[in-house]
Amino acid sequence: MKPLDTNQADDLLTAAAAKLQQHDVGGALDILVKAYQVWPDNCLILNMSGRCYQILGEFERAERCWQEALKIDPDNDVAESNLSTLQQPAFRSWQKRYKMALTTLEKKRFAEARGMLRQLMEEHDEFVSLYKVLGLSCLAEGDRDEAHRIWRKGLELDINNSSLQEYLAMPERRSIKFIKEEEPPKPLFHTVFTRRRLLILTGLLCLALVMQTGIVLNSHRQNVATTANLQQRIQQLTALVEQPQEPPDETVSAAAVEELSMEGSHYDVEQEEHYYLAGYQAYQAKDWKNAASNLGVVVSMQTGSYLNREALYYLARTYYLQEDYDQAEKYYLLYLDRFPASNYFDDSLFYLACTYYFSDRSQQAQEVLQQLEEWDPNSGYLSSSLYRTMIKD
């Protein structure tokens, strides 16, 4: 391959950086792979590749990128800092629990795996692979709407992620009751649930195969060992889904949700999820009254859970879209206070600034935008036309 000149290399790195800023992690990684093949001793390529793998949840590959960068330049502060973050005991413990959750999922203990993955996401919600497997665990329990919501959220981290797009494009199976009325029950019963198990298997295999792609920094011996281990795991999973299993109960969405007094009551996970799903579905349907009512119930529970955080953000968003800026301000401020540095932190800062701007408080809007710029100088909101309008006024 013809060596890159300096201008070509700079163009590739600029293009990769632009992809990252647009949350197109896979696109950035494709460019970096191409650059690495002809420029393997460039620390910036290795640093950026490590960051891509980290976002995708491929931590071992991220570590190898940064370790290689440190071999080339022992004073590489970026690689050293990122490695230190991954190697902290607390994060090592998180990774161990993540692997346990995957094992639990493979054992078809879907509800248990789902709970473990939700807890992991409350601690770290910035890795694409977590959205993949949490969505698969929801699908395995028949909760297709929640699976789709989670996968769409994962696409916000990597907008062109092929696995997530394939999951979302999977055709919806017909209900068991409808099929039994139309066809002989025995053969179609088998067909429906075989397809379902195969969808779950497909997702798990996609996740496993993703781990094998990208920049090859490890040795041939390591690759052979890893591939052999992967093939063995695929065979085990294939055997697993071919085993007969009882059909899970069909989930039914509530048609109406009763208003409840929150004071002095105790709520379990199922209640929180029930009200959240009702609220989120109403939000998607632009049924603002029911969205605010149900999401408000979840927010009032104050569990601090992943669903509690999601409900708080969408409640603020519901009021913002209704142009009820006083209520939107209240809940955006509450989100920023309860969930600092979380997945919607930059969104909440930006839309809080918007609530100030649209309620004729331009000075407060600009102060919040300054906070956003300090918190994330690469935020996509900083290049939006609305940002430019607010910052000039």
Domain boundaries, the chain: 6-87, 90-242, 269-392
Cα dihedral 210/211/216/222 (nearest 10): -140
Going from the first residue of the chain to its last (393 residues), give the mean pLDDT of each consecutive group of 10, the final group possibly shorter: 60 88 92 86 92 93 93 92 89 90 83 89 92 90 89 94 89 40 34 42 44 35 39 40 39 32 44 86 90 90 85 94 94 92 86 95 94 85 87 80
Per-residue confidence (pLDDT) for residue 239, from 0 to 100: 40
Helix pair 288-301, 269-284: axis angle to 10 deg: 150
Residue 363 C-alpha from the chain's centroid: 34
**Residue 218 Ramachandran class (φ > 0 left, ψ -120 to 50 alpha, else beta):** beta
CA distance 208 to 235: 12
Per-residue confidence (pLDDT) for residue 47, from 0 to 100: 92
Q: What are phi and psi of 4, to 5 degrees?
A: -80, 140
- Considering the domain delimited by 269-392, tell me its CATH architecture: Alpha Horseshoe (1.25)
Domain 90-242, CATH: 1.25.40.10
Contact present, 311 and 279 (Cβ < 8 Å): yes
Per-residue confidence (pLDDT) for residue 158, from 0 to 100: 94
Say how many C-beta atoms besides its own lie within 10 A of residue 32's C-beta: 32
Instruction: Using alpha carbons only, give the angle 183, 186, 191 rounded to the nearest 5 degrees.
Output: 80
Contact present, 236 and 254 (Cβ < 8 Å): no
Contact present, 25 and 161 (Cβ < 8 Å): yes
CA distance 179 to 30: 44
CA distance 361 to 4: 51
Say how many C-beta atoms besides its own lie within 10 A of residue 101's C-beta: 24
Per-residue confidence (pLDDT) for residue 142, from 0 to 100: 83
Q: Look up the pTM and report it.
A: 0.53
Of 46, 122, 50, the closest CA to residue 85 belongs to: 50
Per-residue confidence (pLDDT) for residue 175, from 0 to 100: 31
What class, spelled out in words, does domain 6-87 have in CATH? mainly alpha
Q: Do domains 90-242 and 269-392 have the same CATH topology?
A: yes
Say how many C-beta atoms besides its own lie within 10 A of residue 208's C-beta: 16
Residues in Cβ contact with 335 at an 8 Å cutoff, skipping those fewer than 6 apart: 309, 312, 313, 316, 344, 348
Per-residue confidence (pLDDT) for residue 38, from 0 to 100: 81
